[in-house]
Amino acid sequence: MSIILWIIFGAIVGWVASLVMGTNDSLVLNIILGIVGAMLGGWLMSFLGESGVTGFNLYSMFVALIGAVILIAIVKAIR
């Protein structure tokens, strides 16, 4: 994916993850959260033997959402 698609993808996933976890984050933080969550989710899924983020599709959104929710939970636990 191009950098612009990663930013859009990260914004959507980060926003949905912040809604799921009940946080109110800024757009920039949602983008970062979505992109890092996609990396974390992709790593976790490859660790489990599945494919990670494969493009701008529903499966990739689900994988990234799992990673972003885990990331938010870790940050909440540290705070």
pLDDT at 11: 85
Tokens for 45, please give them: 């899924």
Structural domain for 45, as ranges = 3-78
User: pLDDT for 29-71, tens place per residue?
Assistant: 888 888 888 888 888 888 888 877 777 888 888 888 999 899 8
Tally of domains in the chain: 1
Report residue 5's pLDDT band, with 50, 70 and 90 as the boundaries.
Answer: confident
Report residue 10's pLDDT band, with 50, 70 and 90 as the boundaries.
Answer: confident
Report residue 1's pLDDT band, with 50, 70 and 90 as the boundaries.
Answer: low
Amino acid at site 57: N
| Burial class of residue 44 (count of CB atoms within 10 Å of its CB; 0-12, 13-18, 19+) | middle
Please compute, for residue 50, the number of CA atoms within 13 A of its CA located in the half-sphere on the CB side. Answer: 12
